[in-house]
Amino acid sequence: MSSEAGDAAAYAARAYPAWVRAQKAYGLSDQEGQVKLNQNESPFDLPLELKREILEQVLAEPWNRYPALRDAELHAEVAAHFGVRAEQLLIGPGSNSLLGALAQCVAQPDAVVVAARPSFGLYGSATRASGSRLLEVPLGPDLRLDVAGMISAARENRAALVFAANPNNPTGTAVPTAALLELVAEAPGLVLLDEAYLEFSGLPSALGALDRHPNLIVLRTFSKAFGLAGVRCGCLMGHPEVLAPIDRLRAPFAMGPFVRHCIRAILRQPDLLRRTVEHIIQERERVLARMSCIPGVVPRPSMANFVLFEVLEHEKVYRRLHRRGITVRDVSSYDELKSSLRVTIGTPEENEAFLNALAEAVK
Ligand SMILES: Cc1ncc(COP(=O)(O)O)c(C=O)c1O
């Protein structure tokens, strides 16, 4: 280590408490190939014409000015899309950032946050980064959320917050919305229902129950069905009193004119969203059926835009897929998913390339 690096490390050690220094950076170990099926993104970019229109609108904005603290038009349009009132909505640069702010809001040394395992990794990292204690409830034997187990864990530990993804990532499994509303009714604290993949499930949203449950927060994102992962926009919806502290804690002015115009443009294209979702669901079912016919591959039915599957030698299969330019996600670090990989549904051509490569890779 150079002497400056040593000095910097010493300053960091004095300035940052041990638990902060122990945090792991978010990282992807996947080595990317041409066919990128590892991050549950939409395979469809916006039409070029629409991108040009958005850019024209962004060019017409003053870039030297801070954006509005709360963009009333954007809130009105996003709220109308989700069928909530504008005051029940918080919009942020990716739902990740809002998850982090929520975890900070409930943080205390003895605060308990409950989440399923395996589930979306950010629940754990946001909780640990906030200093609260994470309590993980294993999924049921069918890899679906163990709602009864989560209720008991939340009640017995007076959990300040419960994270529940439906459909769940990385399993693609889902439980009925009514079961989750029972969790909301029984939990002593806040419950964040993460509906990042809801559009692909055909399930009703829990948003309709917001007025009945003041402790319910629903997460939605523009990164998946809307195909805007690169734009970074997501939202939390809940009671204004519950959202206000999250809003106060996060950094102001986080979203500039680019995000605003992208979101308003996509909301004016409901047909594009409907067609994309229909197409991905159709492809998912086709891919699942084909995977089931490959000896040595056990895919799990999915309600999301990805499929979890088991193979005998997952490391070898991962490497062989990568050699053919196909990137999937290795999720085998979870004990419960020891020999599993996860593949995002891509374009029909990408899915074909994946299916052919998989058939070869498991031989
Ligand atoms: C379950 C779940 N929730 C939330 C997100 C975060 O999405 P974003 O930060 O892009 O809005 C993801 C991303 O993969 C996810 O899988």
For the chain, count helices (H), then strands (E).
Answer: 13, 13
CA distance 118 to 121: 8
The fraction of the chain above a pLDDT of 90, given in percent, is 89
pLDDT of the residue at 24: 77
* Cα 285 to ligand 1 centroid, rounded to whole Å: 22
For a pocket test of ligand 1, which of 194, 217, 222 has the largest count of ligand atoms closer than 8 A to its C-beta? 194
**What letter represents residue 103's amino acid?**
A
Angle, to 10 degrees, between the axis of helix 147-156 and the axis of helix 177-186?
10
* Cα 9 to ligand 1 centroid, rounded to whole Å: 32
Nearest atom, ligand 1, residue 229 CA: 10
- pTM for the model stands at 0.96
Q: Could you tell me which of 286, 300, 304 has the C-alpha nearest to residue 355?
A: 286
**Which fold is adopted by the domain 48-267?**
Aspartate Aminotransferase; domain 2 (3.40.640)
Q: Could you tell me which of 127, 216, 206 has the C-alpha nearest to residue 174?
A: 206
User: Counting beta carbons within 10 angstroms of the beta carbon of residue 53, is it exposed (0 to 12), middle (13 to 18) or buried (19 or more)?
Assistant: middle
- Residues 96-143 have pLDDT tens digits of 999 999 999 999 889 999 999 999 999 999 998 898 999 999 999 899
- Residues 54-80 have pLDDT tens digits of 999 999 999 999 999 999 999 999 999
- Residues 279-308 have pLDDT tens digits of 999 999 999 999 999 999 999 999 999 999
* Cα 103 to ligand 1 centroid, rounded to whole Å: 15
pLDDT of the residue at 31: 67
Which of the following CATH numbers is that of domain 27-46+271-361: 3.30.43.10, 3.30.420.40, 3.90.1150.10, 1.10.10.10?
A: 3.90.1150.10
Q: Are 93 and 255 in contact (CB under 8 A)?
A: yes
Q: Are 305 and 316 in contact (CB under 8 A)?
A: no
Name, in order, each residue with C-beta under 8 angstroms of 197's C-beta and a sequence gap of 6 or more: 40, 165, 167, 169, 172, 224, 225, 303, 304, 305
pLDDT of the residue at 252: 92
Among the ranges given (24-38, 56-70, 151-165), the one the predictor scored with the smallest mean pLDDT: 24-38
* pLDDT higher than threshold 70 for residue 357: yes
Q: Could you tell me which of 359, 331, 335 has the C-alpha nearest to residue 344?
A: 331
Q: Could you tell me which of 191, 183, 182 has the C-alpha nearest to residue 238?
A: 191
Domains of the chain, residue spans: 27-46+271-361, 48-267
For ligand 1, atom 2, which residue shows the shortest CA distance?
A: 196
Nearest atom, ligand 1, residue 233 CA: 11
DSSP 108: -
Strand order in the sheet with 340-344: 298-299, 306-310, 340-344, 329-330
Helix (H, G, I), strand (E, B) or coil at 259: helix
pLDDT of the residue at 29: 67
pLDDT of the residue at 20: 81
CA distance 304 to 225: 10
Name, in order, each residue with C-beta under 8 angstroms of 356's C-beta and a sequence gap of 6 or more: none
CA distance 284 to 271: 20
Interval 338-354 mean pLDDT: 97
Helix (H, G, I), strand (E, B) or coil at 62: coil
Q: Could you tell me which of 36, 20, 219 has the C-alpha nearest to residue 123?
A: 219
pLDDT of the residue at 30: 64
pLDDT of the residue at 247: 96
Q: Where are the alpha helices (H) located in 187-313, listed in sequence order? A: 240-249, 257-267, 270-292
For ligand 1, atom 3, which residue shows the shortest CA distance?
A: 196
* Cα 219 to ligand 1 centroid, rounded to whole Å: 9
User: Counting beta carbons within 10 angstroms of the beta carbon of residue 6, is it exposed (0 to 12), middle (13 to 18) or buried (19 or more)?
Assistant: exposed
In the structure, which protein residues have their CB atom closer than 6 angstroms to any atom of ligand 1? 40, 94-96, 120, 165, 169, 194, 196, 221, 223, 229, 234
